[in-house]
């Protein structure tokens, strides 16, 4: 089992650091799985930690981050699965910002596996400062790789791009203090409504002039649901707020919300990574 990769440049380091930091903020959990494949790196949370069937994962594109990438394993698809503490991984990547060369390797230190970051920075003249950051990892069994595969995504009934995450965060945070669940309603005319209800009060906020993303099967979907008709889903508000807080760390990307028959999907989309959150829907208000 071997892994060695050289990060493309300081922009590649920034992409990698932002992807991991965004995932850490959105997941709210200490540990995660890091799955290494020939084309992508995947971050995911053990699904057993969720009290419902929520899922969160990130996909980091190798060709956008790494200059060289060498991976060898006995897995049939040449993959390696590591368990890692996010705090240590973020700390190592932060120390690599503004460096001139970063090499990642899977090594052993005193018999224990580590993801090692060899960081080189040019100081004054010809002086090069070299720092090594070792992140302890657990190498998981090949049989566990299938257990952390992202699920097949359901077909959306409506898609909207979220344009003002800071305002949305403020609204959702206020609503969270009123009710643990929020009903999201969207239509094909760029409108979105958030509503929380208790026995004492109902609070609703409306967003207009949002951009609708094209559905996978535009012809069938447009016939089934008129553009002005709202599609609604009741979800756990804390999952929505966690995703927004994480996505705010990568404000340059696109943020997409999709409502399906049995879930709400949230996407953070940018050049180097895609973060996906699947939140199951509850019984309607």
Are the C-beta atoms of 96 and 121 separated by less than 8 Å? no
Is pLDDT above 60 for 221? Answer: no
Segment 59-73, tens digit of pLDDT: 999 999 999 999 999
- Tell me what pLDDT residue 253 has: 86
d(CA 257, CA 181) in angstroms, rounded, equals: 17
pLDDT value, residue 155: 93
pLDDT at res. 153: 93
Q: How confident is the model at residue 222 (pLDDT cuts 50, 70, 90)?
A: very low
- ∠ CA 29-30-34, nearest 5°, is 95
Helix H or strand E segment including 220 = helix 218-224
178 pLDDT more than 80: yes
Distance CA 45, CA 129 (A): 35
- pLDDT attached to residue 224: 67
The pLDDT tens digits of the residues spanning 8-62 come to 888 899 999 999 999 999 988 899 999 999 999 999 987 666 667 899 999 999 9
Alpha carbon distance 117, 101 (integer Å): 10
Task: Give residue-wise pLDDT tens across range 124-144.
Answer: 767 788 899 999 999 999 889
| Predicted pLDDT of residue 28 | 81
Residues in CB range of 26: below 8 A, 6 or more apart: 56, 242, 243, 245, 246, 247, 268, 275, 277
Q: What is the mean pLDDT of the chain?
A: 91
pLDDT number for residue 179: 96
Asked whether the predicted pLDDT for residue 162 surpasses 90, the reply is: yes
Q: Which H helix or E strand runs over 7?
A: strand 2-7
- 276, pLDDT greater than 50: yes
Kindly state the average pLDDT of the residues 179-190: 97
């Amino acid at each position: 089992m071997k892994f060695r990769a050289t990060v493309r440049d300081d922009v590649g380091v920034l992409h990698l650091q932002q992807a991991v930091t965004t995932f850490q903020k959105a997941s709210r959990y200490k540990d995660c799985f890091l799955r290494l494949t020939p084309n992508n790196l995947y971050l995911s949370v053990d699904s057993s930690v969720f009290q419902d069937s929520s899922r969160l994962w990130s996909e980091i594109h190798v060709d956008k981050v790494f200059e060289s990438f060498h991976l060898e394993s006995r897995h049939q698809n040449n993959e390696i699965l590591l368990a890692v503490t996010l705090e240590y991984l973020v700390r190592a990547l932060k120390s690599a910002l503004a460096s001139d060369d970063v090499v990642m390797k899977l090594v052993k230190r005193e018999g224990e596996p580590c993801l090692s970051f060899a960081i080189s920075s040019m100081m004054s003249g010809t002086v090069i400062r070299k720092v090594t950051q070792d992140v302890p990892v657990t190498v998981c069994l090949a049989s566990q790789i299938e257990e952390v595969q992202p699920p097949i995504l359901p077909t959306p009934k409506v898609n909207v791009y979220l344009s003002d995450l800071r305002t949305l965060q403020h609204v959702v945070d206020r609503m969270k203090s009123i009710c643990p669940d929020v009903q999201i309603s969207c239509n094909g005319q760029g409108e979105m409504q958030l509503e929380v209800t208790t026995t004492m009060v109902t609070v609703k906020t409306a967003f207009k002039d949002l951009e609708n993303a094209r559905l996978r099967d535009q012809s069938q979907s447009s016939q089934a649901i008129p553009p002005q008709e709202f599609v609604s889903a009741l979800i756990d508000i804390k999952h929505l707020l966690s995703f927004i807080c994480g996505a705010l760390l990568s404000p340059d990307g696109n943020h997409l919300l999709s409502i399906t028959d049995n879930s709400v999907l949230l996407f953070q989309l940018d050049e180097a990574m895609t973060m996906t959150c699947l939140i199951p829907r509850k019984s309607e208000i």
